[in-house]
Every structure is written in structure tokens, then in C-alpha cells.
Structure 1
Amino acid sequence: MGEIKGKKASGKKEHHLWKSRDSAQSGQKALTLVRIVCKLPNEKEAVYGALDKWTAWEIEFPLIAVAKALKILRKRGQWVRVIQVAKWMLSKGQGATMGTYDTLLLAFDMDQRVDEAESLWNMVIHAHMRSVSKRLFSRMISLYDHHNMPDKIVEVFADMEELRVKPDEDTVRRVARAFRELGEEEKRKLVIKRYGLKWKYIHFNGERVRVRTEAWEDNESAN
């Protein structure tokens, strides 16, 4: 029995070491990818060519390493490089997840590429209609809000309602503001009544105070 227990413990240890080593390798690969793309000219052919060369000797597509590289580039605010790497990955038929789409929409937003964001959004909403995440809806509404496009906010919100996706508090605020800008006061009030929280915390005179939603609504009307 003692030998069996010892073998089990040894097996667990080896498995743990293998996972740690694999994680470290993907981290190093991610850093290498980041270094490569950041030295390249801003040309699609140059970037795609270098990334193809980076994966030339890989048996399987290094999806984890690419995902980590995108996180690094996102943290550094390298939005053009985020877009290039994400598009390259998708062109290889890899990483087509809600997380990738979210990162790409954020990068399009930050790089002022609204048209490309809309093209991606239309593809996602038609191909994955029933599985589009709340986060992705919120991201698109946030993008339209940043670029002062209230009519587009309302369109995305209509899809949310049709698919029964409940908006978060920030999205409710953006949608309510969009309806106000469009002169749709009754719809603005309806959105707040239907989705707004009963209580909201605000900071007043340096303290955190709980107020009713109606008070927040009145404040929104005054702004």
C-alpha cells in the first residue's frame, strides 16, 4: 500500500511540474511574439509574414501564447498591434471566441475604427445570435456611446431585449442617455423603470450614500 501511495503522489507532482513548465513556455512565446510585432512596420504583409514565420515550426497553433500576447499588448495600449495579431489569429481559423471579439472591439474603439467595429459586430450578431454575451453587447453600446451615436446604441439595445439579455447598470445608463438625446423621454423612463436598480450607491461629501433609483433618474434628467 505504501508503494502505491508513493506512486500516486509522484504522479501528481510530475503532472503539476508539466503544467507549470507548459505555462512558462507559453509565457515566453507570448513575450517573443510581442517583441516581434512591436519592431515591425505598420503593414499587414510584414506583420502577417512575421507571425507566419513565428508559427512555422509549431505542431499545433500556439493559441495560449497568442492569447497571452494579446493581453500584454492590451495592457500596454498597443491597439494597432492588438488588431493586427487578433485579425491574423482569426484568419487562421483560431481563437474565434467572445473574449477575442471583445478585445478586438475595444481595440477598434480605442483606435477610432468604428466602421471595422460595426463590420465585426454584424458578423458576430448574425453568426452567434443566441450566444452573444452580455459583455459583448455592453462593449458595443459603450463604443457607440464614446463616438456619440445614440441611434446605434438603441439598435444594439433592441437586439439585447429581443434576445432577453439583461443589461448591466452602466449599459442602462448609456441607453437611457441615448433615448434622452433622441428626444424619446418616455422610452428613457421605461428603460430605467424596467432595468434600473432599486437602490444606487453614490459618493456625497466624501461618504458612500445609498439613494433610490428615482433620485438617480432625476439627476440624469438635470444633466
Structure 2
Amino acid sequence: MAVFWRRCWASMASSLDFMVDKQSSLALTACKSFIRSASSCFPDVSSFGGMVQIASEDAWNPIPDLLNLEDSKEVVYSTLDAWVAFEQDFPLASLKQALTALEKEEQWHRIVQVIKWMLSKGQGTTMKTYEQLVCALEKDNRAEEAHRIWQKKIAHDLQPVPWRFCHLMLAIYYRNNMLDRLVKVWTYSLFKELEACGRKPPSKDIIWKVEDAYEVLGLQEEKKALLDKYKDLYNKPSRNDRRKGSKSRNTEMNKTSG
């Protein structure tokens, strides 16, 4: 029986290289991973007839494949499914590296596809993942969908949500001229829930966006109340102000030393 299975592994591996094309490279690697696992039961399979040679470099590198796949949800999903089919543990670390590479290439549509596939498997359901998804959706010109994700997955419980994510969502509303939604989220979600927990806005950049939305929508009383409440925050330098100040100091120091 062992000889029979060894011959099966050898035959499968020797034929795989004739079947592979650009679209199926992940499937090939997944099959080889399966053969590698099975052949561990039969150590001599790697030299059987000189046909099976599976080395460590066959481990899947997701980055080239995800960068080069055609723009099709079905292709991306089936390719990723083929890859993880024989993995013992879900490869979150490899996917994180792949998403980082996709961000550098500004492949926002592909990032959305990969994250949605990952979430469909019940994996990576963290605040950071949803923040990355919302950001990619806006950059893919899908701000409306980003809003729906926020409403469905995040807005119902804001206590664990970092202000960074909240600021991102306000910025998306601001950049996409969804000022009524910005005001609604600020008034009925962020201000009501986070302020009640003592979590005040960390940056005046947030208040600026809300102030401007009030101004555009003609909500002068709300704008005045906002400025009165956060007047102390306005006296603190924002992150951009600090960066400018640091650059100015460095410039002056260089002039002095010169």
C-alpha cells in the first residue's frame, strides 16, 4: 500500500508543472504543499524515480501572485481558497505581508478583495482590519460602501474603537462631501458615546472638520458651542503644527551652524 501511495504522489507532482499557468500558480503550490505533507509519511517519495523534488523554496510567496492576478473576484477568491486548502493554520502573517505590498503598489481594489475574502473565512476580524478595509474602499472611490461598513460593523459599539479610526471616518465624510453624515456621526455617536466615557478628541484637526461642516451646513449655534467646548484644544499645536515647527527649528539650526 505504501508503494501505491508513493507512486500516486510522484505521478501527481510530475504532472503539475505541465498544468500550471499564471492564474494557477497558487493552486500548484497548494498541491505541492499537500504532497509534501503526505510524503512525510513516506520519506523516500522525494527520490522515487527522480520525479518528485519538493524543496523549501516551494513555500508560497503570496505577493507576486496577488499583484498579478486578473481583476476578478472569482479568480482572487478561488486562488486564495486553493492556497489555504492544505494549510494547517490560517496564514494571517503571509496575508498581512501581502496587504502591505499591495498598499505600496496602491492596489486598493485588490486589498478590498483580499480583506473581504479573509473576513468571509472568519479570520482577521480586528479593528485594524476593518480600518484598513474602510481606508481602501475610499481610495477605490467607494466611500458609500465604506460608510455602510462603518455603520454595520463599527458604529454600534464605539468604546473599543480608537480615535484614529474615528478620525479616518470623519475625514472620509469630509473629503467626499458627506457633511450631513459627518455631523450626524459626531453628534450622535462620537460626541455622545466617547465623551461620556471621558475620551476626548486628541487633535484639533478633528474639531476643524466638524467646525467646517457646521459652517457649510449653516449650523452656527452648533459651531459656536463646539468652539467654546474645545477652545483649550485649539491652543495646543496639532501634529502638522509640530512637524512644521520641528522643520523650522532644524532649518534655523542648520543656518546657525553654517
TM category (shorter chain) comes to 0.7 to 0.9
Structure 1 position 172 matched with structure 2 position 201: no
Alpha-carbon distance in structure 2 between the residues aligned to 1:128 and 1:200: 30
State the partner residue of 1:163: 193
Alpha-carbon distance in structure 2 between the residues aligned to 1:56 and 1:187: 55
Alpha-carbon distance in structure 2 between the residues aligned to 1:39 and 1:63: 20
Alpha-carbon distance in structure 1 between the residues aligned to 2:156 and 2:108: 25
Alignment check: 8 A CA contact 2:127 2:161 kept: yes
The amino acid that maps onto 1:144 is: Y
State the partner residue of 2:130: 101
Q: SS at the partner of 2:237?
A: strand
Shift in CA distance, 183/132, structure 1 to aligned 2, threshold 3 Å: same
The amino acid that maps onto 2:200 is: K
Q: Which moved more, 1:49-58 or 1:190-199?
A: 190-199
Give the superposition deviation at 1:199: 3.5
Alignment check: 8 A CA contact 2:66 2:98 kept: no
Q: SS at the partner of 1:46?
A: helix
Give the TM-score taking structure 1 as reference length.
0.72
| Match of residue 72, structure 1, among 87, 101, 107 | 101
Structure 1 position 53 matched with structure 2 position 88: no
| Match of residue 227, structure 2, among 189, 192, 211 | 192
CA RMSD in angstroms comes to 2.3
Q: Which has the higher contact order (CA 8 A, sep 6+)?
A: 2
For residues 62-118 of structure 1, what are the alpha-carbon distances to aligned partners after superposition, in whole Å with 9 as ceiling and x for unaligned?
112112221221222110111011101100000011111111111111111022112
Matches within 5 A, 1:138-153: 138-153=167-182
Runs of 4+ off more than 6 Å? none
For residues 114-166 of structure 1, what are the alpha-carbon distances to aligned partners after superposition, in whole Å with 9 as ceiling and x for unaligned?
22112211112355443222122111111111101111111121211111242
Alignment check: 8 A CA contact 2:170 2:182 kept: yes
Give the superposition deviation at 1:40: 1.5
Q: Give aligned-pair identity as a percent.
A: 35
Shift in CA distance, 185/109, structure 1 to aligned 2, threshold 3 Å: same
Shift in CA distance, 184/54, structure 1 to aligned 2, threshold 3 Å: same
For residues 18-49 of structure 1, what are the alpha-carbon distances to aligned partners after superposition, in whole Å with 9 as ceiling and x for unaligned?
xxxxxxx9xx85xx222112222211111000
| Match of residue 38, structure 1, among 48, 67, 79 | 67
Shift in CA distance, 127/64, structure 1 to aligned 2, threshold 3 Å: farther
Q: SS at the partner of 2:159?
A: helix
Q: SS at the partner of 1:130?
A: coil
Alignment check: 8 A CA contact 1:55 1:61 kept: yes
Alignment check: 8 A CA contact 2:112 2:136 kept: yes
Shift in CA distance, 137/183, structure 1 to aligned 2, threshold 3 Å: same
Structure 1 position 135 matched with structure 2 position 169: no
The amino acid that maps onto 1:62 is: P
Larger radius of gyration: 2
Structure 1 position 114 matched with structure 2 position 151: no
The amino acid that maps onto 1:163 is: E
Alignment check: 8 A CA contact 2:109 2:140 kept: yes
Alpha-carbon distance in structure 2 between the residues aligned to 1:102 and 1:188: 28
Q: SS at the partner of 2:177?
A: coil
Alignment check: 8 A CA contact 1:144 1:152 kept: yes
Give the superposition deviation at 1:58: 0.8
Name stretches of at least 5 consecutive residues in structure 1 with no aligned partner: 1-24, 209-223
Length, aligned pairs only? 179
